[in-house]
Each structure stands twice: as structure tokens, then as C-alpha cells.
């Protein structure tokens, strides 16, 4: 990869990180939340309530009947805070489309994710994704490094170990994930390198979008802004067995697979 492309990736990644927190510190609107629909889960005797913020029309889930009072009191305030943040973002941007989806729900875990596009008045525009995985017993939000490990003692990103995390992601995680994806999809590196969407480039797997699903775990690559169309060209979902093979040994035994 040439230096110009690496710089594009770096700038694009910084923009992506910033874009997930648009307007978060600006004016707060007076919001109104209303119950919209109740969803009965197919695999367990429990319900999810979809709440609508009426001004932004944003729908987001809450735990309901079938989940203990403790779990509802632990998780629903977190979901309400997210709802408030994103609803304010929508109202302040003026041109943002967003929808939330359930990824995986069990007695112990809640996985949700969103895809949104924006074209705001201050000329910021684009599209991005964000996933959330919560432990219903502790309210901890898990990162990908909490869930997967490609080496022992996988570093968790925080303010104190950025260099260690960065080294792991670039030198171990991204190459391994890239190789696993090439094997899964039966892709040939030489063919991919001739394509505009080069899925063999380890840089696009350094910090991918991911979401825990009923059928396993899904990944999408991160490309520079000019190549964002490459993110949706392929569906990449690893099975439950693959996930269990690489599950972090420190991750609680709460995956109901």
C-alpha cells in the first residue's frame, strides 16, 4: 500500500470516529418518547419494546416483559441515553437517516446496531455504522477485543495502552481476520488487488464494523470515505462455531450458542 493511500485511510478513520459523535456536546432538545410496538422474541419468552422519539422519529429498543426487573433497570437507562444522544444528533443535523436493529438477544446479552447516513448543514456528510454489545448482568459494553482473541492476553483499548492496542490490531488482529475472511469467501489476493475494493488489504480490517448476530458474527471493512461503497458489496458472517473457536478466554461463559 502506498503512503498516499495510508494517509487517506488515517484521515478517513479519524473522520469516521468523529462522525459517530456528531454534535454530542451541542444544544439538547426537549425530547418526547412514546411506546411504538412490542416485539415478542422467537427464541425466548421475552419481549422488546420499541420506543419512538417523536421529534426525530427515531425508534430504539428497550427490555420489557420476560427480562428481570434488575436487568431492565440496569440496561434501559443506557439505551435511553443512547436514544437521547442520537435523537439530538438527528435534530441538530437536519438531514440524518438512522435505523436500529436487533442483532442478538439472550438472557445474558443484548446486541444492537445502527446504520445511518447524514448530510448536515455544516457540510459534513457520509454514512457509518455502530454496534453495541451489552452484558445484561453487569451493563458492561463489550468491545471486539473482549469477545475475540487471536493471541493470549489480547489488549483492551483504553487511554493507557493505545500503542499496545494499535500494535496488536495492525500486526496480529487485522492480518489474521483478513486471512480468515479470504478463506471463508474463497477469495484470491491477486484478484482482489486488481479491484477498487481490495478486501485483501489488512488496513481495511484493522478496526472493522462488527455485530453479534443469532447466526454468528458479521464484519464489514472500513474503507476511506471515497470508497465507502465497498463496505456493502459483500456479506461476511462467520458461524457460531468459528466465533466459539476464537472466543476470548476471558469472556464470560454467557454466549448461548
Backbone φ and ψ for 128, nearest 5 degrees, come out as -160, 175
What per-residue confidence (pLDDT) applies to 9? 46
- Give the whole-number percent of the chain exceeding pLDDT 90: 63
Mean pLDDT of 146-171: 89
Calpha distance 53→237 (Å, rounded): 32
Q: In which band, very low, low, confident or very high, does the pLDDT at 190 lie, cut at 50, 70 and 90?
A: confident
66 CB burial (10 A radius; 0-12, 13-18, 19+)? middle
Q: Is the pLDDT of residue 174 over 90?
A: yes
Q: In which band, very low, low, confident or very high, does the pLDDT at 12 lie, cut at 50, 70 and 90?
A: very low
Contact 138, 110 (CB under 8 A): no
Name the grid cell of 201: 488489504
Q: In which band, very low, low, confident or very high, does the pLDDT at 8 lie, cut at 50, 70 and 90?
A: very low
Calpha distance 61→99 (Å, rounded): 11
What mean pLDDT is reported for the chain?
A: 87
What per-residue confidence (pLDDT) applies to 126? 77
What per-residue confidence (pLDDT) applies to 15? 41
Calpha distance 72→30 (Å, rounded): 24
Q: In degrees, to the nearest 5, what angle opens at C-alpha 254 toward C-alphas 210 and 60?
A: 50
Q: In which band, very low, low, confident or very high, does the pLDDT at 161 lie, cut at 50, 70 and 90?
A: confident
The 10s digit of each residue's pLDDT in 108-158 is: 999 999 988 888 876 567 778 899 999 999 999 999 999 999 998 888 887
The 10s digit of each residue's pLDDT in 209-237 is: 999 999 999 999 988 777 777 888 889 99
Calpha distance 236→186 (Å, rounded): 12
What per-residue confidence (pLDDT) applies to 122? 67
The 10s digit of each residue's pLDDT in 70-99 is: 999 999 999 999 999 999 999 988 888 999
Contact 219, 174 (CB under 8 A): no
Q: Is the pLDDT of residue 23 over 80?
A: no
What per-residue confidence (pLDDT) applies to 17? 41
- Give the whole-number percent of the chain exceeding pLDDT 70: 88
Q: Is the pLDDT of residue 18 over 60?
A: no
Amino acid at each position: 500500500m502506498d503512503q498516499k493511500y495510508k494517509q487517506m485511510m488515517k484521515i478517513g478513520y479519524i473522520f469516521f470516529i468523529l462522525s459517530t459523535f456528531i454534535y454530542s456536546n451541542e444544544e439538547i432538545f426537549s425530547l418526547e418518547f412514546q411506546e411504538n410496538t412490542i416485539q415478542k422474541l422467537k427464541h425466548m419468552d421475552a419481549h422488546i419494546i420499541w420506543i419512538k422519539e417523536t421529534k426525530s422519529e427515531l425508534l430504539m429498543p428497550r427490555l420489557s416483559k420476560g427480562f428481570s426487573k434488575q436487568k431492565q433497570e440496569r440496561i434501559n437507562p443506557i439505551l435511553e441515553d443512547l436514544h437521547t444522544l442520537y435523537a439530538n444528533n438527528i435534530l441538530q443535523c437536519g438531514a440524518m437517516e438512522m435505523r436500529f436493529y436487533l442483532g442478538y438477544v439472550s438472557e445474558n446479552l443484548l446486541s444492537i446496531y445502527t446504520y445511518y447516513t447524514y448530510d448536515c448543514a455544516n457540510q459534513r456528510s457520509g454514512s457509518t455504522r455502530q454496534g453495541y454489545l451489552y452484558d445484561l448482568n453487569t451493563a458492561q459494553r463489550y468491545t471486539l477485543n473482549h469477545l475475540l482473541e487471536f493471541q493470549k492476553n489480547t489488549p483492551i483499548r483504553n487511554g493507557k495502552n493505545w500503542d499496545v492496542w494499535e500494535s496488536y490490531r495492525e500486526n496480529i488482529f487485522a492480518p489474521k481476520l483478513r486471512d480468515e475472511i479470504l478463506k471463508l469467501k474463497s477469495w484470491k489476493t491477486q484478484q482482489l488487488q486488481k479491484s477498487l475494493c481490495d478486501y485483501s488489504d489488512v488496513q481495511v480490517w484493522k478496526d472493522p464494523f462488527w455485530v453479534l448476530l443469532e447466526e454468528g458474527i458479521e464484519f464489514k471493512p472500513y474503507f476511506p470515505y471515497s470508497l465507502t461503497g465497498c463496505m456493502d458489496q459483500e456479506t461476511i458472517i462467520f458461524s457460531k462455531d468459528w466465533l466459539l473457536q476464537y472466543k476470548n478466554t476471558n469472556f464470560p461463559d454467557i454466549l448461548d450458542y
